[in-house]
Chains A and B, each alone.
Chain A
Amino acid sequence: MSAFLALVRRDLALAFRIGGGGLLSLGFFLLAALLIPLGVGPEGQALARIAAGVVWVCALLACLLSLDRLFQADLEDGSLDQLALGPLPMEAIVLAKAAAHWISTGLPLTLAAPAIGVMLNLDPQAFGPLLLALLIGTPALSLVGAVGAGLTAGVRRGGLLLSVLVLPLYVPTLIFGAQAADRAATGLDPTPALAFLGAVTALAAGVAPFAAAAALRVNLR
Protein backbone atom coordinates (compact mmCIF):
# COMPACT_ATOMS: atom_id res chain seq x y z
CA MET A 1 0.00 0.00 0.00
CA SER A 2 2.84 2.39 0.79
CA ALA A 3 4.35 1.73 -2.63
CA PHE A 4 0.94 2.45 -4.18
CA LEU A 5 0.61 5.75 -2.31
CA ALA A 6 4.20 6.67 -3.13
CA LEU A 7 3.44 6.21 -6.82
CA VAL A 8 0.29 8.34 -6.54
CA ARG A 9 2.27 11.05 -4.71
CA ARG A 10 5.05 10.92 -7.31
CA ASP A 11 2.61 11.33 -10.21
CA LEU A 12 0.81 14.18 -8.47
CA ALA A 13 4.10 15.93 -7.75
CA LEU A 14 5.10 15.53 -11.41
CA ALA A 15 1.73 16.89 -12.50
CA PHE A 16 1.63 19.93 -10.25
CA ARG A 17 5.26 21.10 -10.27
CA ILE A 18 6.76 23.28 -12.95
CA GLY A 19 6.44 21.73 -16.38
CA GLY A 20 3.77 19.24 -15.34
CA GLY A 21 0.78 21.23 -16.47
CA GLY A 22 -1.42 19.73 -13.73
CA LEU A 23 -4.26 22.20 -13.86
CA LEU A 24 -4.06 22.89 -17.59
CA SER A 25 -6.89 20.45 -18.28
CA LEU A 26 -9.03 22.37 -15.81
CA GLY A 27 -8.24 25.56 -17.72
CA PHE A 28 -9.14 23.83 -20.98
CA PHE A 29 -12.40 22.59 -19.46
CA LEU A 30 -13.44 26.09 -18.34
CA LEU A 31 -12.39 27.68 -21.61
CA ALA A 32 -14.12 25.11 -23.82
CA ALA A 33 -17.35 25.24 -21.81
CA LEU A 34 -17.41 29.03 -21.89
CA LEU A 35 -16.86 29.12 -25.63
CA ILE A 36 -20.14 27.24 -26.16
CA PRO A 37 -22.41 30.25 -25.51
CA LEU A 38 -20.38 32.21 -28.04
CA GLY A 39 -21.24 29.60 -30.63
CA VAL A 40 -24.79 28.77 -29.55
CA GLY A 41 -25.96 32.26 -28.65
CA PRO A 42 -26.73 33.90 -25.32
CA GLU A 43 -30.39 32.81 -24.91
CA GLY A 44 -30.79 31.47 -21.40
CA GLN A 45 -33.29 28.75 -22.30
CA ALA A 46 -31.17 27.23 -25.04
CA LEU A 47 -28.13 27.24 -22.76
CA ALA A 48 -30.06 25.71 -19.86
CA ARG A 49 -31.18 22.89 -22.17
CA ILE A 50 -27.65 21.95 -23.18
CA ALA A 51 -25.75 22.89 -19.97
CA ALA A 52 -25.38 19.38 -18.53
CA GLY A 53 -24.32 17.92 -21.87
CA VAL A 54 -21.80 20.70 -22.42
CA VAL A 55 -20.25 20.11 -18.99
CA TRP A 56 -19.92 16.39 -19.68
CA VAL A 57 -18.57 16.68 -23.23
CA CYS A 58 -16.02 19.28 -22.12
CA ALA A 59 -15.06 17.02 -19.20
CA LEU A 60 -14.40 14.14 -21.62
CA LEU A 61 -12.23 16.29 -23.84
CA ALA A 62 -10.32 17.81 -20.93
CA CYS A 63 -9.67 14.31 -19.58
CA LEU A 64 -8.19 13.24 -22.92
CA LEU A 65 -5.67 16.08 -22.96
CA SER A 66 -3.34 14.73 -20.30
CA LEU A 67 -3.88 11.04 -21.03
CA ASP A 68 -1.40 10.58 -23.84
CA ARG A 69 1.55 11.14 -21.49
CA LEU A 70 0.12 8.96 -18.71
CA PHE A 71 2.44 6.03 -19.47
CA GLN A 72 4.39 7.31 -22.45
CA ALA A 73 6.78 9.56 -20.50
CA ASP A 74 7.57 6.72 -18.08
CA LEU A 75 8.00 4.26 -20.93
CA GLU A 76 10.41 6.55 -22.75
CA ASP A 77 12.69 7.40 -19.81
CA GLY A 78 12.69 3.88 -18.39
CA SER A 79 10.74 4.64 -15.21
CA LEU A 80 8.12 2.12 -16.25
CA ASP A 81 10.76 -0.64 -16.37
CA GLN A 82 11.82 0.36 -12.86
CA LEU A 83 8.21 0.31 -11.68
CA ALA A 84 7.69 -3.09 -13.28
CA LEU A 85 10.66 -4.43 -11.29
CA GLY A 86 9.24 -2.97 -8.09
CA PRO A 87 6.88 -4.54 -5.57
CA LEU A 88 3.63 -3.42 -7.23
CA PRO A 89 1.93 -5.62 -9.82
CA MET A 90 1.33 -3.86 -13.13
CA GLU A 91 -2.42 -3.70 -12.43
CA ALA A 92 -1.76 -1.70 -9.24
CA ILE A 93 0.62 0.60 -11.12
CA VAL A 94 -2.17 1.32 -13.59
CA LEU A 95 -4.63 1.91 -10.77
CA ALA A 96 -2.23 4.28 -8.96
CA LYS A 97 -1.51 6.29 -12.08
CA ALA A 98 -5.21 6.43 -12.99
CA ALA A 99 -5.95 7.63 -9.45
CA ALA A 100 -3.33 10.37 -9.74
CA HIS A 101 -4.77 11.33 -13.13
CA TRP A 102 -8.24 11.56 -11.61
CA ILE A 103 -7.03 13.73 -8.70
CA SER A 104 -5.30 16.11 -11.10
CA THR A 105 -8.10 16.29 -13.72
CA GLY A 106 -11.42 14.67 -12.76
CA LEU A 107 -11.62 16.08 -9.25
CA PRO A 108 -10.81 19.73 -10.17
CA LEU A 109 -13.30 19.46 -13.07
CA THR A 110 -16.00 18.28 -10.69
CA LEU A 111 -15.32 21.09 -8.26
CA ALA A 112 -15.35 23.70 -11.04
CA ALA A 113 -18.50 22.36 -12.73
CA PRO A 114 -20.99 24.38 -10.60
CA ALA A 115 -19.40 27.61 -11.86
CA ILE A 116 -19.97 26.45 -15.44
CA GLY A 117 -23.51 25.46 -14.46
CA VAL A 118 -24.23 28.99 -13.22
CA MET A 119 -22.85 30.58 -16.37
CA LEU A 120 -24.82 28.21 -18.62
CA ASN A 121 -28.05 28.84 -16.70
CA LEU A 122 -28.35 25.24 -15.46
CA ASP A 123 -31.59 24.44 -13.64
CA PRO A 124 -31.05 24.85 -9.85
CA GLN A 125 -32.44 21.36 -9.22
CA ALA A 126 -29.77 19.84 -11.45
CA PHE A 127 -26.68 21.11 -9.61
CA GLY A 128 -26.64 18.37 -7.00
CA PRO A 129 -27.14 15.48 -9.45
CA LEU A 130 -24.60 16.97 -11.88
CA LEU A 131 -21.97 17.23 -9.15
CA LEU A 132 -22.74 13.74 -7.89
CA ALA A 133 -22.66 12.37 -11.45
CA LEU A 134 -19.27 13.95 -12.12
CA LEU A 135 -17.95 12.58 -8.84
CA ILE A 136 -19.17 9.08 -9.70
CA GLY A 137 -18.42 9.18 -13.42
CA THR A 138 -15.06 10.92 -13.85
CA PRO A 139 -13.06 8.04 -12.26
CA ALA A 140 -14.32 5.90 -15.16
CA LEU A 141 -12.88 8.48 -17.59
CA SER A 142 -9.42 8.14 -16.02
CA LEU A 143 -9.66 4.33 -15.81
CA VAL A 144 -10.84 3.77 -19.38
CA GLY A 145 -8.42 6.44 -20.51
CA ALA A 146 -5.62 4.43 -18.90
CA VAL A 147 -6.47 1.54 -21.24
CA GLY A 148 -6.15 3.83 -24.25
CA ALA A 149 -2.95 5.32 -22.84
CA GLY A 150 -1.51 1.85 -22.34
CA LEU A 151 -2.44 0.76 -25.86
CA THR A 152 -0.85 3.83 -27.46
CA ALA A 153 2.13 4.23 -25.07
CA GLY A 154 4.54 3.01 -27.74
CA VAL A 155 3.05 5.06 -30.58
CA ARG A 156 4.78 8.32 -31.36
CA ARG A 157 2.28 11.19 -31.53
CA GLY A 158 -0.32 8.79 -30.19
CA GLY A 159 -2.58 11.51 -28.80
CA LEU A 160 -4.93 11.59 -31.76
CA LEU A 161 -5.08 7.82 -31.98
CA LEU A 162 -5.79 7.74 -28.24
CA SER A 163 -8.82 9.99 -28.74
CA VAL A 164 -10.16 7.77 -31.53
CA LEU A 165 -9.79 4.70 -29.32
CA VAL A 166 -11.08 6.14 -26.07
CA LEU A 167 -13.95 8.45 -27.02
CA PRO A 168 -16.27 5.60 -28.14
CA LEU A 169 -15.54 3.87 -24.83
CA TYR A 170 -16.68 7.01 -22.99
CA VAL A 171 -20.19 6.80 -24.49
CA PRO A 172 -21.93 5.03 -21.55
CA THR A 173 -20.39 7.38 -18.98
CA LEU A 174 -21.35 10.42 -21.05
CA ILE A 175 -24.93 9.26 -21.55
CA PHE A 176 -25.67 8.28 -17.96
CA GLY A 177 -23.77 11.26 -16.54
CA ALA A 178 -25.58 13.85 -18.64
CA GLN A 179 -28.91 12.06 -18.19
CA ALA A 180 -28.63 12.30 -14.41
CA ALA A 181 -28.51 16.10 -14.55
CA ASP A 182 -31.01 16.27 -17.42
CA ARG A 183 -33.58 14.19 -15.59
CA ALA A 184 -33.23 16.31 -12.45
CA ALA A 185 -33.68 19.48 -14.53
CA THR A 186 -36.94 18.15 -16.00
CA GLY A 187 -38.25 17.01 -12.63
CA LEU A 188 -37.55 13.30 -13.04
CA ASP A 189 -35.74 11.11 -10.54
CA PRO A 190 -31.99 11.08 -11.37
CA THR A 191 -31.31 7.98 -9.25
CA PRO A 192 -31.53 5.39 -12.10
CA ALA A 193 -29.02 7.31 -14.20
CA LEU A 194 -26.70 7.70 -11.22
CA ALA A 195 -26.99 4.00 -10.42
CA PHE A 196 -26.14 3.02 -14.00
CA LEU A 197 -23.27 5.53 -13.95
CA GLY A 198 -21.91 3.87 -10.83
CA ALA A 199 -22.24 0.49 -12.53
CA VAL A 200 -20.21 1.71 -15.52
CA THR A 201 -17.50 3.07 -13.21
CA ALA A 202 -17.42 -0.22 -11.30
CA LEU A 203 -17.13 -2.09 -14.60
CA ALA A 204 -14.30 0.20 -15.70
CA ALA A 205 -12.53 -0.33 -12.36
CA GLY A 206 -12.80 -4.08 -12.88
CA VAL A 207 -11.76 -4.22 -16.53
CA ALA A 208 -9.40 -1.30 -17.10
CA PRO A 209 -6.47 -2.17 -14.77
CA PHE A 210 -6.15 -5.63 -16.31
CA ALA A 211 -6.49 -4.45 -19.90
CA ALA A 212 -4.08 -1.54 -19.42
CA ALA A 213 -1.59 -3.77 -17.59
CA ALA A 214 -1.73 -6.30 -20.43
CA ALA A 215 -1.08 -3.50 -22.92
CA LEU A 216 1.85 -2.14 -20.87
CA ARG A 217 3.43 -5.59 -20.60
CA VAL A 218 3.33 -5.81 -24.40
CA ASN A 219 4.94 -2.38 -24.65
CA LEU A 220 7.69 -3.35 -22.20
CA ARG A 221 8.54 -6.53 -24.08
Chain B
Amino acid sequence: MAALPEGPGPANDSPMSIWPKSIWDVANPARFMRLSGALLPWVSAAAALALGGGLVWGFFFTPDDYQQGSTVKIIYIHVPAATLAINVYAFMGIMSLIWLIRRHHVSALAAKAAAPIGAGMTLAAIVTGALWGQPMWGTWWAWDPRLTAFLIMLFFYAGYIALWAAIEDPDAAADLTAVLCLVGSVFAIVSRYAVIFWAQGLHQGASLSMDRETNVADVFWRPLVLSLAGFFLLFLALLLLRTRTEIRLRRARAIRLAAGEGAEPPGEAA
Protein backbone atom coordinates (compact mmCIF):
# COMPACT_ATOMS: atom_id res chain seq x y z
CA MET B 1 0.00 0.00 0.00
CA ALA B 2 1.01 3.59 -0.49
CA ALA B 3 2.35 4.44 2.89
CA LEU B 4 3.99 7.75 2.14
CA PRO B 5 6.11 9.13 4.96
CA GLU B 6 4.00 11.58 6.87
CA GLY B 7 5.35 14.80 8.26
CA PRO B 8 8.95 15.93 8.05
CA GLY B 9 11.52 13.69 6.45
CA PRO B 10 14.76 12.54 8.03
CA ALA B 11 17.00 15.37 6.78
CA ASN B 12 14.72 18.06 8.04
CA ASP B 13 16.55 19.36 11.07
CA SER B 14 17.97 22.59 9.71
CA PRO B 15 15.57 25.25 8.44
CA MET B 16 17.85 25.81 5.42
CA SER B 17 17.25 22.34 4.02
CA ILE B 18 14.76 23.22 1.30
CA TRP B 19 17.51 22.69 -1.25
CA PRO B 20 18.37 19.05 -1.77
CA LYS B 21 21.99 17.89 -1.49
CA SER B 22 21.36 15.25 -4.11
CA ILE B 23 18.58 14.74 -6.63
CA TRP B 24 17.46 11.65 -4.68
CA ASP B 25 16.61 13.77 -1.64
CA VAL B 26 13.60 14.99 -3.60
CA ALA B 27 12.30 11.41 -3.59
CA ASN B 28 11.22 12.03 -0.02
CA PRO B 29 7.65 13.31 -0.44
CA ALA B 30 7.92 15.74 2.46
CA ARG B 31 11.06 17.30 0.99
CA PHE B 32 9.52 17.33 -2.45
CA MET B 33 6.48 19.16 -1.11
CA ARG B 34 8.64 21.82 0.55
CA LEU B 35 10.91 22.32 -2.44
CA SER B 36 8.10 22.31 -5.00
CA GLY B 37 6.02 24.62 -2.81
CA ALA B 38 8.87 27.11 -2.72
CA LEU B 39 9.60 26.79 -6.44
CA LEU B 40 6.06 26.79 -7.79
CA PRO B 41 5.30 30.53 -7.64
CA TRP B 42 8.66 31.41 -9.21
CA VAL B 43 8.37 28.83 -11.96
CA SER B 44 4.80 29.92 -12.66
CA ALA B 45 5.78 33.58 -12.87
CA ALA B 46 8.74 32.77 -15.13
CA ALA B 47 6.48 30.66 -17.34
CA ALA B 48 3.93 33.46 -17.60
CA LEU B 49 6.66 35.99 -18.44
CA ALA B 50 8.43 33.87 -21.05
CA LEU B 51 5.25 32.53 -22.62
CA GLY B 52 3.50 35.91 -22.64
CA GLY B 53 6.62 37.66 -23.90
CA GLY B 54 7.33 35.06 -26.58
CA LEU B 55 3.76 34.94 -27.85
CA VAL B 56 3.17 38.72 -27.84
CA TRP B 57 6.54 39.31 -29.50
CA GLY B 58 5.89 36.55 -32.04
CA PHE B 59 2.29 37.45 -32.80
CA PHE B 60 2.49 41.25 -32.94
CA PHE B 61 6.10 42.32 -33.42
CA THR B 62 7.40 40.05 -36.16
CA PRO B 63 6.79 40.58 -39.88
CA ASP B 64 4.62 38.29 -41.99
CA ASP B 65 6.47 35.64 -43.98
CA TYR B 66 6.84 36.50 -47.67
CA GLN B 67 5.17 33.24 -48.70
CA GLN B 68 3.12 32.10 -45.73
CA GLY B 69 1.79 35.49 -44.71
CA SER B 70 0.59 35.68 -41.11
CA THR B 71 0.04 31.90 -40.86
CA VAL B 72 3.74 31.53 -40.07
CA LYS B 73 2.94 32.72 -36.54
CA ILE B 74 1.46 29.34 -35.68
CA ILE B 75 5.03 28.19 -35.07
CA TYR B 76 5.11 30.00 -31.72
CA ILE B 77 2.58 27.47 -30.43
CA HIS B 78 3.01 24.53 -32.78
CA VAL B 79 6.75 24.00 -32.47
CA PRO B 80 6.96 24.26 -28.65
CA ALA B 81 3.89 22.05 -28.20
CA ALA B 82 5.32 19.38 -30.50
CA THR B 83 8.71 19.56 -28.80
CA LEU B 84 7.10 19.09 -25.42
CA ALA B 85 4.84 16.27 -26.64
CA ILE B 86 7.94 14.17 -27.30
CA ASN B 87 9.94 15.31 -24.30
CA VAL B 88 7.12 14.72 -21.83
CA TYR B 89 6.91 11.10 -22.97
CA ALA B 90 10.67 10.75 -22.53
CA PHE B 91 10.32 12.29 -19.06
CA MET B 92 7.59 9.76 -18.20
CA GLY B 93 9.88 6.97 -19.36
CA ILE B 94 12.69 8.16 -17.09
CA MET B 95 10.31 8.56 -14.14
CA SER B 96 8.92 5.06 -14.78
CA LEU B 97 12.41 3.62 -14.82
CA ILE B 98 13.25 5.37 -11.53
CA TRP B 99 10.05 4.03 -9.98
CA LEU B 100 10.74 0.46 -11.09
CA ILE B 101 14.35 0.54 -9.93
CA ARG B 102 14.30 2.69 -6.80
CA ARG B 103 10.63 2.57 -5.74
CA HIS B 104 10.34 6.32 -5.13
CA HIS B 105 6.64 7.14 -5.06
CA VAL B 106 7.26 10.73 -6.11
CA SER B 107 8.67 9.61 -9.46
CA ALA B 108 5.67 7.34 -10.15
CA LEU B 109 3.33 10.20 -9.29
CA ALA B 110 5.33 12.63 -11.43
CA ALA B 111 4.93 10.28 -14.41
CA LYS B 112 1.20 10.04 -13.71
CA ALA B 113 0.95 13.82 -13.38
CA ALA B 114 2.87 14.44 -16.61
CA ALA B 115 0.71 12.22 -18.85
CA PRO B 116 -2.31 14.51 -19.32
CA ILE B 117 0.02 17.48 -19.93
CA GLY B 118 1.82 15.50 -22.63
CA ALA B 119 -1.45 14.39 -24.18
CA GLY B 120 -2.64 18.01 -24.21
CA MET B 121 0.58 19.16 -25.88
CA THR B 122 0.27 16.41 -28.51
CA LEU B 123 -3.30 17.43 -29.22
CA ALA B 124 -2.28 21.11 -29.39
CA ALA B 125 0.46 20.28 -31.89
CA ILE B 126 -1.96 18.29 -34.07
CA VAL B 127 -4.72 20.93 -33.94
CA THR B 128 -2.45 23.91 -34.61
CA GLY B 129 -0.82 21.92 -37.42
CA ALA B 130 -4.23 21.28 -38.96
CA LEU B 131 -5.16 24.97 -38.69
CA TRP B 132 -1.93 25.87 -40.48
CA GLY B 133 -2.14 23.01 -42.97
CA GLN B 134 -5.55 24.01 -44.26
CA PRO B 135 -4.43 27.32 -45.85
CA MET B 136 -0.83 26.21 -46.60
CA TRP B 137 -1.10 22.58 -47.73
CA GLY B 138 -4.74 22.85 -48.75
CA THR B 139 -5.74 20.08 -46.35
CA TRP B 140 -6.43 19.74 -42.64
CA TRP B 141 -4.77 16.38 -42.43
CA ALA B 142 -2.31 14.39 -44.51
CA TRP B 143 -0.99 10.90 -43.79
CA ASP B 144 2.50 12.24 -43.43
CA PRO B 145 5.03 10.35 -41.27
CA ARG B 146 5.31 13.13 -38.69
CA LEU B 147 1.59 13.69 -38.43
CA THR B 148 0.95 9.97 -38.19
CA ALA B 149 3.66 9.51 -35.56
CA PHE B 150 2.00 12.21 -33.47
CA LEU B 151 -1.39 10.57 -33.83
CA ILE B 152 0.12 7.28 -32.63
CA MET B 153 1.73 9.11 -29.73
CA LEU B 154 -1.67 10.51 -28.75
CA PHE B 155 -2.94 6.90 -28.61
CA PHE B 156 0.02 5.96 -26.39
CA TYR B 157 -0.83 8.76 -23.99
CA ALA B 158 -4.50 7.75 -24.00
CA GLY B 159 -3.68 4.13 -23.21
CA TYR B 160 -1.30 5.14 -20.42
CA ILE B 161 -3.89 7.40 -18.79
CA ALA B 162 -6.61 4.76 -19.21
CA LEU B 163 -4.47 2.10 -17.52
CA TRP B 164 -3.82 4.38 -14.52
CA ALA B 165 -7.56 4.94 -14.26
CA ALA B 166 -8.45 1.24 -14.53
CA ILE B 167 -6.41 -0.21 -11.66
CA GLU B 168 -7.49 0.40 -8.10
CA ASP B 169 -4.39 -0.51 -6.10
CA PRO B 170 -2.07 2.51 -6.48
CA ASP B 171 1.21 0.58 -6.30
CA ALA B 172 0.04 -2.02 -8.81
CA ALA B 173 -1.15 0.80 -11.07
CA ALA B 174 2.23 2.52 -10.80
CA ASP B 175 4.07 -0.72 -11.65
CA LEU B 176 1.86 -1.67 -14.58
CA THR B 177 1.79 1.80 -16.11
CA ALA B 178 5.58 1.99 -15.77
CA VAL B 179 5.93 -1.28 -17.70
CA LEU B 180 3.51 0.04 -20.33
CA CYS B 181 5.41 3.32 -20.62
CA LEU B 182 8.74 1.56 -21.16
CA VAL B 183 7.38 -0.96 -23.68
CA GLY B 184 5.51 1.90 -25.34
CA SER B 185 8.63 4.03 -25.68
CA VAL B 186 10.46 1.15 -27.43
CA PHE B 187 7.57 0.64 -29.84
CA ALA B 188 7.06 4.38 -30.30
CA ILE B 189 10.60 4.65 -31.66
CA VAL B 190 10.04 1.67 -33.96
CA SER B 191 6.73 3.18 -35.11
CA ARG B 192 8.49 6.43 -35.92
CA TYR B 193 10.75 4.64 -38.39
CA ALA B 194 7.93 2.40 -39.64
CA VAL B 195 5.85 5.39 -40.71
CA ILE B 196 8.86 6.89 -42.50
CA PHE B 197 9.14 3.62 -44.41
CA TRP B 198 5.42 3.70 -45.09
CA ALA B 199 4.76 7.18 -46.54
CA GLN B 200 6.40 10.14 -48.17
CA GLY B 201 6.45 13.27 -46.09
CA LEU B 202 4.75 16.58 -46.61
CA HIS B 203 6.00 18.03 -43.34
CA GLN B 204 9.32 19.89 -43.43
CA GLY B 205 12.38 18.44 -41.71
CA ALA B 206 13.88 19.72 -38.49
CA SER B 207 14.60 23.44 -38.71
CA LEU B 208 15.94 24.05 -35.22
CA SER B 209 19.02 22.19 -34.17
CA MET B 210 21.54 22.23 -31.35
CA ASP B 211 24.52 21.36 -33.54
CA ARG B 212 23.73 22.71 -36.98
CA GLU B 213 22.87 26.12 -38.29
CA THR B 214 19.17 26.78 -37.93
CA ASN B 215 16.94 27.28 -40.95
CA VAL B 216 14.73 29.86 -39.31
CA ALA B 217 15.39 33.56 -39.88
CA ASP B 218 16.56 35.38 -36.74
CA VAL B 219 13.50 37.60 -36.69
CA PHE B 220 11.25 34.53 -36.17
CA TRP B 221 13.81 32.49 -34.28
CA ARG B 222 14.31 34.77 -31.26
CA PRO B 223 10.66 34.92 -30.17
CA LEU B 224 10.38 31.21 -30.94
CA VAL B 225 13.17 30.36 -28.51
CA LEU B 226 11.51 32.52 -25.86
CA SER B 227 8.20 30.78 -26.50
CA LEU B 228 9.92 27.35 -26.30
CA ALA B 229 11.38 28.32 -22.92
CA GLY B 230 7.92 29.49 -21.87
CA PHE B 231 6.35 26.13 -22.80
CA PHE B 232 9.03 24.20 -20.90
CA LEU B 233 8.48 26.39 -17.85
CA LEU B 234 4.73 25.96 -18.21
CA PHE B 235 5.22 22.18 -18.25
CA LEU B 236 7.40 22.41 -15.15
CA ALA B 237 4.85 24.54 -13.32
CA LEU B 238 1.93 22.26 -14.25
CA LEU B 239 4.01 19.20 -13.39
CA LEU B 240 4.88 20.53 -9.93
CA LEU B 241 1.30 21.52 -9.29
CA ARG B 242 -0.16 18.20 -10.45
CA THR B 243 2.46 16.11 -8.62
CA ARG B 244 1.72 18.03 -5.42
CA THR B 245 -1.98 17.27 -5.91
CA GLU B 246 -1.26 13.57 -6.44
CA ILE B 247 0.88 13.41 -3.31
CA ARG B 248 -1.86 15.07 -1.29
CA LEU B 249 -4.45 12.64 -2.72
CA ARG B 250 -2.21 9.75 -1.66
CA ARG B 251 -1.86 11.22 1.80
CA ALA B 252 -5.60 11.72 2.09
CA ARG B 253 -6.10 8.12 1.05
CA ALA B 254 -3.55 6.86 3.58
CA ILE B 255 -5.25 8.84 6.34
CA ARG B 256 -8.65 7.52 5.30
CA LEU B 257 -7.40 3.94 5.23
CA ALA B 258 -5.80 4.35 8.65
CA ALA B 259 -9.00 5.82 10.07
CA GLY B 260 -11.13 3.04 8.58
CA GLU B 261 -8.62 0.38 9.65
CA GLY B 262 -8.01 -0.73 6.11
CA ALA B 263 -11.61 -0.80 4.97
CA GLU B 264 -11.85 1.24 1.82
CA PRO B 265 -15.15 2.84 0.88
CA PRO B 266 -16.20 1.54 -2.55
CA GLY B 267 -15.35 3.61 -5.56
CA GLU B 268 -12.95 5.96 -3.84
CA ALA B 269 -9.60 4.62 -4.95
CA ALA B 270 -6.96 7.33 -5.07
Which residues of chain A have a CB within 8 Å of any CB of chain B? 144, 147, 151-152, 154-155, 158, 161, 164-165, 167-169, 171-172, 175-176, 179, 192-193, 196, 200, 203, 207-208, 211, 214-215, 218-219, 221
Contacts and interface: CB of A to CB of B under 8 A. Distances in A.
Contacts of B186: 203, 207
Given A169-B183, A179-B197, A218 B176 contact: yes
A196 B194 contact: yes
B190 interface: yes
Measured as residues with beta carbon below 8 angstroms from the partner, the interface class of chain B is 20 to 34
Contacts of A158: 166
B52 to A, nearest CB: 35
Interface string B151-182: 01001101100110011000010011001101
A220 to B, nearest CB: 10
Nearest to A170: B187
Contacts, number: 83
Contacts of A154: 167, 172
**A-B CB proximity, top 10 nearest:** A168-B155, A172-B194, A175-B194, A165-B159, A218-B175, A172-B190, A171-B191, A175-B198, A169-B187, A164-B159
Contacts of A221: 172
The winner among A155, A171, A179, A219 for most chain B CB atoms within 10 A is A171
B194 A171 contact: yes
A221 B176 CA distance: 12
B172 A219 contact: yes
Given A172-B187, A211-B179, A215-B179, A164 B155 contact: yes
B251 to A, nearest CB: 23
A164 B162 CA distance: 8
B195 interface: yes
B230 interface: no
Contacts of B172: 154, 218-219, 221
A200 to B, nearest CB: 6
Interface string B81-98: 000000000000000000
6 contacts: A155-B167, A164-B162, A172-B194, A176-B194, A207-B183, A218-B172
Nearest to B172: A218
B231 to A, nearest CB: 25
Nearest to B189: A172
A121 to B, nearest CB: 23
Contacts of B163: 151-152, 161, 165
Nearest to A221: B172
Nearest to B177: A151
B184 interface: yes
Contacts of B155: 164, 167-168
A200 B190 contact: yes
Given A154-B172, A168-B159, A176 B197 contact: yes
A100 B187 CA distance: 24
Given A161-B163, A175-B191, A207-B186, 17 more contacts: A151-B179, A161-B166, A164-B162, A165-B159, A168-B156, A168-B187, A169-B183, A171-B152, A171-B195, A207-B183, A208-B183, A215-B176, A215-B179, A218-B172, A218-B175, A218-B176, A218-B179
Nearest to A204: B187
Contact of B191 (A161, A164, A172): A172
A210 to B, nearest CB: 9
A165 B194 CA distance: 19
Contacts of B175: 214-215, 218
B152 A168 contact: yes
A207 B182 CA distance: 10
A72 to B, nearest CB: 13
A151 B176 contact: yes
Contacts of A152: 163, 166
Nearest to A158: B166
Contacts of B167: 154-155
Nearest to B175: A218
